[in-house]
A and B are shown apart, each in its own frame.
Chain A
């Protein structure tokens, strides 16, 4: 069965510190992996995506993620967090068939301390 696990419900970091948000997935085929960010009362914005090729992918706002097939993980990282990064982050896995749904993790809420 397809599933996505985000083990950390809530993370607090200081501004300027590094960040890593964890994501593990279970998927029956080669996954397409995504990270989305949601600000309060807003929709979801795509941060980055992995389809194939280089396992380290760069996204917007200085975020990057690394796909590790052996660990079934797709962790999101940022070297230096800004206060504006405070938001909810969702990891998702989806099939290449555009007619099928994504599977979302439960989300990680990020708080940034000045």
Chain B
């Protein structure tokens, strides 16, 4: 199967700082990438959908100025959590779809963000 690499796997940052999470499709071109947030023992909550070269589409209730998403190329999307707050501590997962005949989504390993 295709590989999606997410980095970093864990990050701790201070309140008020920003942190960037990268999501790369290693062996296919991801026309669409999705960013999810997952709370403990819960399902995935879609935050935004990003298409290469265009602005991300955010789900209702997700602050676009706080969670900046950039999809600069067909293999890279980034999520930047700005002015991080302890409430932003969570598990963030990216997924990617794309490539000829690929209908399934492939997921990154996730990033555990802790804001102290």
B112 close to chain A: CB less than 8 A: yes
- Hey, which bits of chain A sit against chain B, CB under 8 A? 32, 34, 36, 41-46, 49, 51, 90, 92, 94, 96, 98-102, 104-107, 109
Q: Are B43 and A105 in contact (CB under 8 A)?
A: yes
State in angstroms the CA–CA spacing of A109 and B42 once bound together: 10
Cβ-Cβ contact count across A and B, 8 Å cutoff: 63
Q: Fill in one digit per residue for B45-59: 1 if any A CB lies within 8 Å of its CB, else 0.
A: 010010100000000
- Hey, which bits of chain B sit against chain A, CB under 8 A? 1, 4, 6, 31-32, 34, 41-44, 46, 49, 51, 91, 93, 95, 97-98, 102-110, 112
Q: Are B34 and A44 in contact (CB under 8 A)?
A: no
Chain A positions within 8 Å of B95 at CB level: 44, 102
Chain A positions within 8 Å of B112 at CB level: 41
Q: Are B6 and A98 in contact (CB under 8 A)?
A: no
Q: Are A94 and B105 in contact (CB under 8 A)?
A: yes
Name 13 extra pairs, CB < 8 A, besides A46-B105, A99-B31, A100-B32.
A41-B112, A43-B93, A43-B107, A43-B109, A44-B95, A90-B43, A90-B44, A98-B31, A98-B97, A98-B102, A98-B103, A99-B51, A102-B95
Chain A positions within 8 Å of B6 at CB level: 43
